[in-house]
Amino acid sequence: MIKTDILVVGSGIAGLTLALKLAKKRSDLNITVLTKTNENESNTRYAQGGVAAVWDLEKDSYEKHIDDTLDAGDGLCDEEIVRIVVEEGPTRVRELIDWGTRFDREQDGDYDLGKEGGHSENRILHYKDLTGQEIQRALLAEADKMPNLDLHEHFFALDLITQHHLGYMVTRLTPGITCYGTYALNKQTGEMETIIARKTVVATGGAGQVYRNTTNPVIATGDGIAMVYRAKGRLENMEFVQFHPTALYNPAGENPDFLVSEAVRGFGGILKTKDGEAFMKNYDERGSLAPRDIVARAIDNEIKKRGDEYVCLDCTHLDPEGFVAHFPTIYNKCKSLGIDPMKDMIPVVPACHYMCGGIRVDEKGLSSILNLYACGECTCTGLHGANRLASNSLLEAMVFAHRIHEAILDNIDQVNLQEAIPDWDAKGTTQPKEMVLITQSWKELKEIMSSYVGIVRSNTRLKRAMDRLWLLYRETEDLYTTTSISPQLCELRNLITIGYLVTRSAAMRRESRGLHYTTDFPDKNDFIEVSIM
């Protein structure tokens, strides 16, 4: 058994920011961070566009950033949370800079503020098109200096420990469900570890791998959301899955799909059909820079209407030097596929990008389970509503990491470890013989979600998805109870849960709003419902 004061699951921007803050503030506390592959692998590392923050108060204002966020969220944002994130955001960005994060500057020394879809002003701080990699680098370097912060790589958190593991019956209606830590598989030794903590934080990121095409790396399998669901915690807004409009179309197929940042459109790139028609103004007066739900749906419509495999992003009119300086990674990736962005239009398609729903938390990041907090993409804080505004995710993670660290330090001294936790019970299981059972189910799951629960939905498609998910669920549960635990099996199981939650929430929302569009209810309801699970 591993004992720690605070257990943080996840080493992206959410987990690392929080762990760092706790470690710096209380050197007497031990902070343990688990990460399921290497410390560097996370959605955070792939972030391109940057961090949205009101920086230039002469041109920009908190009110404008708040209005843009509310507008993108299509009526479902929690206005109080939006204000908190927008107003506290710039201070959090300054801390990131103090910890060594570099953001690009203009020649006069001011930060070079980019623009993305749905933003009325230039307010995106970025480091070329590698913002996430730079943030991850700086956070890991800072974490390395903290003697009371232990980062365990290749530890796969499997289940949250609650009263259920002490032999009590726990249902969604049980009051006072409490978290005592997690069971985690040490992938290097193959041992299942019991890790107990006074406070536990889930910062496990998104679940893009539930779709065939996604910008998310392979670690994005919704583990934290599924764990909280199994522990009978509250989730919200799972139907709002954000598809990024412009992943690079690559006929060879790659996982993850390579992103062509929205910042490219902010820089002047224009969406066109293959034969050069700029179509976005037919859908929204903001054209190529409309919010993501609108642009992704428009592209989906153009592709289906015309029978094309992709639409194009035209950058051929842009200043080549400026383009290469701002987007070196995108430029080089295109070149590697024989596309010269300065001469050829870039072929793009929508791809699953971000989960707007997740573990419901309050304004201090506390989940519905006692002593369990959640931070980052795995949460539903109320900031994004029905559609996230570009570059608000990194900001949200930092603001909530700060708030959670304050909340934890407020009362950790009154919480004791629960040490009477039984070890993981693996009796009656055998080694899996056929990995193909897992890999094939994973493929089927992605097909089901992409075909029936994608950008455009309908009652018939959702019903079909649910029927097929049920079969996958039963087969996977059989495997889970009879074979010994492997990360692949657990990820499949978690993704099936995510698929179920997205599909069920989508079926419950009898309207079209933000990222959820169904042909059976194409309009908005006046009565705004919240989909709670």
Q: How far is the CB of 313 from ligand SIN (least distance, A)?
A: 11
Nearer to ligand SIN, 43 or 200 (CB): 43
CB-based burial label for 337 (10 Å; 0-12, 13-18, 19+):
middle
DSSP string, 347-371: EEEEEEEEES-EEE--TT-B-SSBT
Give CA–CA dist 420/423, Å, rounded. 10
Question: One of 292, 297, 403, 493 is an active-site residue; which one?
Answer: 292
Cα–Cα distance between 499 and 209 in angstroms, integer? 10
Of 20, 76, 143, 263, the one binding ligand SIN (CB under 6 A) is 263
CB-based contact 510:525 (threshold 8 Å) = yes
Binding mask 29-48 for ligand SIN (x = CB under 6 A): -------------------x
d(CA 327, CA 314): 14
3-state class percentages of the chain: helix first, strand second, coil last, to nearest 5 = 40, 20, 45
* Alpha-carbon span 485 to 247, nearest angstrom: 34
Residue 377 within binding range of ligand FAD, rule CB under 6 A: yes
Task: Please list, in sequence order, all residues whose beta carbon lies within 8 angstroms of the beta carbon of residue 439, skipping any fewer than 6 positions away.
Answer: 488
What track of x and - describes contact with ligand SIN for positions 45 through 74 (by CB under 6 A)?
---xx-------------------------
Using CB under 6 A as the binding rule, whether residue 350 contacts ligand FAD is answered as no
Is 223 near ligand SIN (CB under 6 A)? no
230 closest CA partner among 186, 171, 176: 171
- Confirm whether 292 is a catalytic residue: yes
Report in angstroms how near the CB of residue 14 gets to ligand SIN at its nearest: 14
Which one, 263 or 372, has the nearer CB to ligand SIN? 263
Told to check if 381 binds ligand FAD by CB under 6 A, we report: no
Measure the CA–CA gap between 345 and 316, rounded to whole angstroms: 7
Instruction: Please report whether residue 49 would count as binding ligand FAD according to CB under 6 A.
Output: yes
Structure tokens at 357: 């729903």
Stretch touching ligand SIN by CB under 6 A, among 57-65, 261-269, 341-349, 436-444: 261-269
CB closer to ligand FAD out of 102 and 305: 102
Q: Which is nearer to ligand SIN, 177 or 296 (CB)?
A: 296
393 touches ligand SIN (CB under 6 A): yes
- Structure-token pair, residue 98: 């103090």
- 288 in contact with ligand SIN (CB under 6 A): no
Question: Closest separation between CB of residue 291 and ligand FAD, Å?
Answer: 14
Give the H/E segment covering residue 341. Answer: none
Neighbours of 357 (CB within 10 A): 25
Query: Checking DSSP bridges between strand 379-380 and strand 358-360, what pairing results, if any?
Result: parallel
**3-state class (DSSP) for residue 312:** strand
The whole-angstrom separation of Cα 78 and Cα 198 is 30
Is 215 a binder of ligand FAD (CB under 6 A)? yes
Q: What is the rounded distance in angstroms from the CA atom of residue 500 to the CA atom of residue 207?
A: 12
Instruction: Fill in the per-residue mask, 146 to 185: x = in contact with ligand FAD (CB under 6 A), - = not in contact.
Output: ---------xxx----------------------------
Asked if 37 is part of the footprint of ligand FAD (rule: CB under 6 A), the reply reads yes
42 sits near ligand FAD (criterion: CB under 6 A): yes
Cα–Cα distance, 379 to 152 (Å, whole number): 23
List active site positions: 292
Binding site for ligand FAD (CB under 6 A): 9-15, 34-37, 41-44, 46-51, 131-132, 155-157, 203-206, 215-216, 219, 223, 259, 354, 376-377, 391-394, 397
Binding site for ligand SIN (CB under 6 A): 48-49, 261-263, 390-391, 393
